[in-house]
Amino acid sequence: MDAKTKEVLHWFEEIAKIPRCSKNEEQICAWLASWAQEHGFGVKKDAAGNILIQVPGTEGYESSTPVVIQGHMDMVCEREKGFDFDFSKDPIKLIFDDDGWLRADRTTLGADNGIAIAMAMAISLDEDQPHPPLELLFTVDEETGLTGAVALEPGFLEGKILLNVDSEDEGVFTVGCAGGNDTHISLPVASEPIPAGSKVLRLVAGGLSGGHSGVDIHEQRANAIRVLARGLGDLLKGSDMRILSLKGGTAHNAIPRDAEALIALPGDALKGAQETISELQSALRAECAKTDKDIFVTLEAAEGDQQGLTAADSRKVVDLLLAIPHGVDGYSKEIHGLVETSNNLATAKLEGGKLTLLSSQRSSDMNLLQLLTDRIEALARGFGGEAESGGGYPAWQPNMDSPLLAKCKEVYKELTGREPKVEIIHAGLECGIIGAKYDGMDMISFGPTIKNPHSPQEKLQISTIGQVYQFMGALLEQLK
């Protein structure tokens, strides 16, 4: 491992000790401000909690226009089911595997996007690295709606070039991304005592791969909420099933890995129900062998309230969960293989006399994004529910004639002898929002290789850290 990689990983290990789930960035922000002040760097904060660290240019670059290095402070906080871990206080335990990857112990790693912060810190302190004045912009709450970027005010930045270090494949430059929107659905339901002689059971869907709802949506990984709904639907076909409770999913941009429901079934239906779920599990393991090889569905005895949904509303809940779309809605007609429009059925919860759902839509075409959102709202209304959409953000339209892109391609080719890949991604990036606020900002996104973000299987390829660091340093040297 080279010295530069070790320095980046030193700072990443420090970052991993600090709680920073989305909407809980106060400690990481305070730590960064203290670090900046310790090294004599300027610090600015805004009302949203975003932080800007101002690093002077090195000798010969003092009067150059600042370059913005940008990432986000928050992370998706996911852990394996049953693992006792408190993201509000427990440090993330890092594991360096022999195969050259860095992962966490049964939680998300937080390389998305802590590695951007670590790289920016390391390059700012690198005495061998020439660079223009740097503005290290670290935003809040990117993972739940890019709200930090949305809250940025004109004048907070001076730079005209922005390097976003939030892409996840070394050797790939991202120059455009999808826009997004969330829809919150509320369906009122009625309860009554469960029928006499009923047995309470827990139906669980788990062992799924999950993943990032933008980056991984094309892989057709199973959605635990939909798997649960499928099991509930199968049970309804053979008995008077009642739903007592239901929950699944954790975040708008994570494909749900776990879901469960408490149900009531007539005592004489238990044997048939077990056979039904066993058959479903066998079918799912065949269907999902390449995407979710550890998938399971179980039905077991449980304790629960003697109140459940009415027969009609149990059916309505299952039907809505089965009807809400999930996955790819359409591919680009211009770029082969690029997902244009999709949605993620992200969370579901039954409590307080209503079923609440969160659907997260994405598209690189804002008209198609609105159309999909309208369809989902219409579906909710058709079931007697209410739907409210908001928290949207714009797509980042690519500029293939960007001077920054041309310079990045030139520098990368000189360093590696290889041509970089230039792409548009289906995930959301803050560049679209920042570019809309700062007219004329030339932007690009890149980063080291990260696999399975937004899940406990997240891992970072260590060798690519030094490669990206070297590229960023060479690029900054030429941005005088």
Q: Which residues are catalytic?
A: 74, 142
pLDDT for the residue 76? 94
What pTM was computed for the model?
0.83
pLDDT for the residue 391? 76
pLDDT for the residue 427? 86
Residue ranges, the chain, pLDDT below 70: none
* Domains, the chain: 3-178+395-477 (3.40.630.10), 181-393 (3.30.70.360)
pLDDT for the residue 262? 97
Cα 294 to Cα 201: distance, rounded to the nearest angstrom:
22
- The burial class, CB within 10 Å (0-12 / 13-18 / 19+), for 219 is middle
What's the pLDDT tens digit per position in 12-38? 999 999 999 999 999 999 999 999 999
pLDDT for the residue 335? 86
pLDDT for the residue 145? 80
